[in-house]
Chain A
Amino acid sequence: MTDLSPITALGAQTLWAETAGALLMSENSNLGLASLALPKGSLHPSPFDLTLPDVGAAVSNSTYGAFWTGPNQWMIEGYEHGETDFAADVKAQASEAYVTEQTDGWCAFDVRSSDDGAALDALLQRLVNLDPSALLPGCVARTGLHHMSVFVIRRTTDHVTLIGMRSFAHSLRHAVQKAADRLTT
């Protein structure tokens, strides 16, 4: 275990979290990410017993998840693996695949709503050009958010994860927080 202390994508020692009305927004720095691409002609692996999903879809079990990022490309998620060499873990599960460490390439913000998703839908309407009624649980889309590129993963009706480039973390947080605040006034 290294003796260097990590910081969050927002540059702090502690995770950011805030509520606005029915919305709870929180930074998630413990999300391990690794990209997985298939060599030509190879079979789909099943890392961590996940069935790699089709276009626009995300799958998960209690510990791991995967979402589609491109033809024969996925992002594998380890929900409590932000501090580990998650790419090595994924490579061990899919030795033929091309695996690249992505954990710190991104920042993740979870947004949950306490009103069965109504406030979450309203927030999404302010942030991304996606139809909330079409973005059902298990759906993922890569889209623009305030001129930044993000993945939007609908975990459940009342839970969305926004994954943006780590260097944009402050601007992404600002966009989410501001939009949520405006909904409450």
Chain B
Amino acid sequence: MTRLNGGLIDRNSPISFTFNGMTYGGFQGDTLASALLANDVQMVGRSFKYHRPRGIFSAGSEEPNAMVELRSDARQEPNTRATVTELFDGLDAKSQNHVGPLKYDLMAVNDLLAPFLSAGFYYKTFMWPRAFWEKLYEPAIRRAAGLGSLSMLPDPDEYDRGYLHCDVLIIGGGAAGLMAALTAGRSGAQVILADEDFRFGGRLLAERQMLEGQPAPAWVDNTLDELRAMANVRLMSRTTVFGAYDHGVFGAVERVSDHLVSPAAGRVRQTLWRITAKRSILAAGATERHIPFANNDRPGIMLAGAMRAYANRWAVAPLRPSDAGVAIFTNNDDGHRTANDLIANGAKVFGVVDVRQNAPRLGDYLLLSGSMVTNTRGRHRVSAIEVTQDGTPTWYPVGALAVSGGWNPNVHLASHHRGRPVWDEGLLAFVPSETGPSGLIPAGAARGHGSTEAALKDGDQAASHALAQIGMASVPPTIPQALEESQAQDAFWHVPGQKRAWVDFQNDVTVKDIKLAHQENMKPVEHLKRWTTLGMATDQGKTANVSALAVMAELTGKAIPETGTTIFRPPYTGVSMGVLGGGDSGHDFRPERRTPTHSWAKDHGAVFVEVGQWMRAQYFPQPGESHWRETVDREALAVRSAVGICDVTTLGKIDVQGRDASEFLNRIYANMMATLPVGKTRYGLMLREEGTLYDDGTCARLGEAQYVVTTTTANAATVYRKMEFARQCLWPDLDVSLISTTDAWAQLAVAGPKSRELLSRIVDDFDLSNEAFPFMACAELSICKGLRARLFRISFSGELAYEIAVPARFGNALMERLMTIGADLGVTPYGTETLGVLRIEKGHATANELTGQTTAAMLGLGRMVSQKKDSIGALMSRREGLASDTRRLVGFKPVNAAEPVVAGSHLFANGVPQQTDTDQGWITSACYSPHLACHIGLGYLEHGDTRMGEIVTAANPLQGQSVDVEVVSAHFVDPEGVRLRD
């Protein structure tokens, strides 16, 4: 055991956990990393490319090495950082990225092959033979790529989402964040304080710091007590603000149950919060840099600040009692604090190796000034370091090595709006610039004010600025007294040498790789990243990017800011797909719309089909029908011989009223609408601005100044939106009002020769005769003893047909009534499949034909585009490119009636090669016609209207089909239109 005394762990709450099948013990307050260290588990994984042994490197979310698979079975989660995983009883973790036992990874052979695996090696290596790329190289590379594994089981957990609003969002609960929260909270602002840690305090928990004469954690506790007592402050621990978005919106994940084995019943695992803040304060602290040197990636080598945190907060040091002491390698004063803290906590210290010639003596330990660590030894953990002083290398046994190369402010969220950080030569670090997200104020270490005293002051000032910007007065600050720590550092970025010195641990990028990239002219930082994969792993280069820039700067002879900057994208740390989904999965993944007769259809065995968001009855199988075609054939024949009912509520319905409604519709429709008499319905075409067909449907005139426009189901919303745009923006002078009534009315198509007879049984004193209510008539009437309804005599099937609309709540009952009283007429419900068959038989166009590239002329409706008035798209429809299109909608029947017609087939003259330049059109819709007892199709064919009777080839190369079809009229049924006018 390597536990020290003290710390912020609860030794009265022991915790049992497993790592790689071994059971260990820890305490409440531990992270998985601190508990592993306490159990002398140093080696926790293998590196990505070379499969080198790796240990715990940091104590926070920047961790590049200690990635584990957490939990098992369906809850198995790869790439979980041990350094931020809160220890819980029953935690089960496994190391990842090795074949065989962790210590004897078979893939470690990669390390021997390192000379062949340099930066960009697969771009250069897998060039030939060309055919090998898809079949061999890429599958092999893909197998090797990625860290960890998935269970491939559905995620069993629930997630939630929500929205929060505040005056000031404070990101980070360390010294600056807590002070900002105090100032803003005391001033009465609505405050959210979020921190990714399970305990507020940030570095105050990791240092031996006195505040107001008491240990810093005590000040943190007192501060939290005060904040908790404020109703206007919301404290959110275990919450990572992962992204800054437009208009003061932030994304955050609250880990509600990740510190439990599994969430309690009904409790969510994580919640996705969208936080809207008037102002935000980025108090996310800083991340310590390391200094690359030869073999700097061994377990037992970690950041000096992290080692200090493990000693102070978690009471653990990464060495055994029998080990030699800890060495500290640094270029700055802060590294010396680690030595002092380790000594104070009873850990053995070898000494401090400081690159500065005149390094200050800040404690009672061996100080090697003007020295650098030039190599290390130790197979599974560091056991010795080579220190070079004045050109003379000397090996020293050590138990662990702490490295400090200075601190990088956590500028991540400040660069989410492409805010470019700027170089501060005094701090030797990038700091947030003014170009970051609007309203975001960096504070404390996140903008380079990293000493405790500076951070506290800066937090208060940031809060005051935020409040001032939103017009709130701030209370006078009471900033606790803290000792100012020495921050001096020298610019020292890496130890020169020939051996591999790691810059990016997670993606195995070394100084040599950067040199190679430079040699191969991949000098711009974006090229460097992609050539070497630097910063592209799950840690996104938090500990690597700036060091890499410094190395490249040295190679190019430029200053660091001239070499480039790296900015960060959301998310700050990985976010699970489950929580991004917001909690609903499976059936509830997205909302669905149900028709008014959904209940009836379900009760009668309907098979449903998704049509956009709608669930529509596709067909109604009857006992004895074993194939959908049997059902559809029966339904279609029933409509043609008797009467059928189909719910067509999903068609868009738009109520248009106003003194200028006629003129408005004249401009919307390509054909004339103003001349439509009251009580009549007209088929209408809408064009896109560029002249192609947009939508079609009927327009019924219910009164002098009231119309009902129907749209296709697919375009219900877009047509309404387009009409609103026209009303508000194109012709605001017109007096017209629009509102959707799609959901308000249940609308049923009643089609077939017996439809009039059926409807006559429900109308209240209404004359349905052909003379009184002819084809294309419409009326408001009452049915079923007083229920208001609308009746339209329109036909999609080509039969005598009506559409009847009633308030939606009565749709289900109307369906039941019609089915009951029409039983003797052979009334049959039919679904969308039969609807499609009927309309293809009749030659009516639908979305298949209105592709966005088709014209009215192609449908044979060119004359509908009125020349007497202007309308959207009319002028453009006459341009040569469209007007000269000779393709026309026609019908197709197979020469051999047993052969299928397949939608999507392309049309060719018989006997010619089937290629692009001989393509003459395509089949848009096809079905089996029970009426004709063969397959039929609709399609566009060059000069199709003049080629009746010609045999052409419908080719479907994807399925190897080639069928001879006869060009026929698109109207397979009743081409004269007698039935629907009967």
**Would you call A133 and B165 a contact (CB within 8 A)?**
yes
**Would you call A3 and B160 a contact (CB within 8 A)?**
no
Q: In the complex, A170 Cα to B813 Cα: how many Å?
A: 19
**Would you call B809 and A39 a contact (CB within 8 A)?**
no
Q: C-beta contact mask, A164-185 vs B, less than 8 Å → 1, else 0?
A: 0111111110110011011011
**Would you call A168 and B591 a contact (CB within 8 A)?**
yes
Residues of B within 8 A of A134 (CB): 165
| A98 touching B657 in the complex, CB below 8 Å, given contacts A103-B807, A105-B741, A182-B268 | yes
| A146 touching B591 in the complex, CB below 8 Å, given contacts A2-B785, A73-B737, A105-B743 | yes
Residue in B267, B809, B812 whose beta carbon sits within 8 Å of that of A185 in the complex: B267
| A102 touching B739 in the complex, CB below 8 Å, given contacts A39-B658, A185-B266 | yes
- Interface residue stretch chosen among B58-66, B594-602, B625-633, B915-923: B594-602
**Would you call B163 and A7 a contact (CB within 8 A)?**
no
- Interface residue stretch chosen among A55-63, A108-116, A123-131, A152-160: A123-131
| B161 within 8 A of partner (CB) | yes
| A104 touching B161 in the complex, CB below 8 Å, given contacts A73-B737, A168-B593, A185-B266 | no
**Would you call B817 and A125 a contact (CB within 8 A)?**
no
| A120 within 8 A of partner (CB) | no
**Would you call B737 and A5 a contact (CB within 8 A)?**
no
Highest count of chain A CB atoms <10 Å: which of B161, B267, B274, B737: B737
Beta-carbon nearest neighbor of B706 in chain A: A98
| B787 within 8 A of partner (CB) | yes
**Would you call A174 and B744 a contact (CB within 8 A)?**
no
| A11 touching B741 in the complex, CB below 8 Å, given contacts A2-B784, A103-B807 | no
Residue in B264, B649, B655, B735 whose beta carbon sits within 8 Å of that of A39 in the complex: B735
- The number of A-B residue pairs with CB atoms under 8 Å apart is 142
**Would you call A182 and B787 a contact (CB within 8 A)?**
no
| B786 within 8 A of partner (CB) | yes
| A172 touching B163 in the complex, CB below 8 Å, given contacts A8-B809, A146-B584, A185-B265 | no
Residues of A within 8 A of B735 (CB): 39-40
Residues of A within 8 A of B813 (CB): 4-7
| B590 within 8 A of partner (CB) | yes
**Would you call A101 and B592 a contact (CB within 8 A)?**
no
Residues of A within 8 A of B745 (CB): 104
**Would you call B276 and A129 a contact (CB within 8 A)?**
yes
**Would you call A167 and B593 a contact (CB within 8 A)?**
yes
Min distance, Cβ A68 to any Cβ of chain B, angstroms: 14
**Would you call B784 and A4 a contact (CB within 8 A)?**
yes
Q: In the complex, A3 Cα to B764 Cα: how many Å?
A: 12
Highest count of chain B CB atoms <10 Å: which of A105, A133, A134, A178: A105
Min distance, Cβ B410 to any Cβ of chain A, angstroms: 27
| B788 within 8 A of partner (CB) | yes
Residue in B163, B807, B810 whose beta carbon sits within 8 Å of that of A101 in the complex: B807
Residue in A29, A133, A182 whose beta carbon sits within 8 Å of that of B160 in the complex: A182
- Residues of chain B in range 800-817 having any CB-CB distance to chain A below 8 Å: 806-810, 812-814, 817
**Would you call A178 and B658 a contact (CB within 8 A)?**
no
Beta-carbon nearest neighbor of A143 in chain B: B163
Min distance, Cβ B839 to any Cβ of chain A, angstroms: 23
Min distance, Cβ B369 to any Cβ of chain A, angstroms: 57
| B164 within 8 A of partner (CB) | yes
| B245 within 8 A of partner (CB) | no
Min distance, Cβ B110 to any Cβ of chain A, angstroms: 46
**Would you call B162 and A4 a contact (CB within 8 A)?**
no
**Would you call A101 and B590 a contact (CB within 8 A)?**
no
Q: In the complex, A149 Cα to B268 Cα: how many Å?
A: 25
Beta-carbon nearest neighbor of A170 in chain B: B594
Beta-carbon nearest neighbor of A38 in chain B: B737
Count of chain A residues with a beta carbon within 8 Å of a chain B beta carbon: 53
Beta-carbon nearest neighbor of B745 in chain A: A104
| A104 touching B160 in the complex, CB below 8 Å, given contacts A6-B813, A146-B584 | no
Q: In the complex, A181 Cα to B785 Cα: how many Å?
A: 43
Beta-carbon nearest neighbor of B817 in chain A: A4
**Would you call B737 and A103 a contact (CB within 8 A)?**
no
| A178 touching B743 in the complex, CB below 8 Å, given contacts A3-B784, A129-B163 | no
Residues of A within 8 A of B807 (CB): 6, 101, 103-104
**Would you call B591 and A37 a contact (CB within 8 A)?**
no
| A148 within 8 A of partner (CB) | yes
Q: In the complex, A103 Cα to B741 Cα: how many Å?
A: 10
Residues of A within 8 A of B659 (CB): 39-40
Q: In the complex, A97 Cα to B123 Cα: how many Å?
A: 70
Beta-carbon nearest neighbor of A99 in chain B: B657
Beta-carbon nearest neighbor of A132 in chain B: B165
Residues of B within 8 A of A43 (CB): none
| B258 within 8 A of partner (CB) | no
| B740 within 8 A of partner (CB) | yes
Residues of A within 8 A of B806 (CB): 4
| B614 within 8 A of partner (CB) | yes
| A85 within 8 A of partner (CB) | yes
**Would you call A104 and B744 a contact (CB within 8 A)?**
yes
**Would you call B739 and A131 a contact (CB within 8 A)?**
no
| B158 within 8 A of partner (CB) | yes
Question: 4 other contacts beyond A4-B813, A37-B739, with CB at 8 A cut-off?
Answer: A6-B810, A11-B812, A168-B592, A170-B594
- Complex A-B, nearest 8 residue pairs according to Cβ-Cβ distance, in ascending order: A171-B591, A105-B744, A185-B266, A167-B593, A2-B787, A104-B808, A131-B165, A6-B809
CB<8 Å pairs between A and B, sample of 26: A1-B785, A1-B786, A2-B783, A2-B787, A3-B785, A11-B594, A11-B812, A29-B809, A39-B659, A39-B737, A85-B788, A100-B657, A101-B741, A101-B807, A102-B741, A104-B743, A105-B742, A126-B160, A133-B190, A146-B582, A165-B593, A169-B594, A170-B594, A171-B592, A174-B588, A185-B266
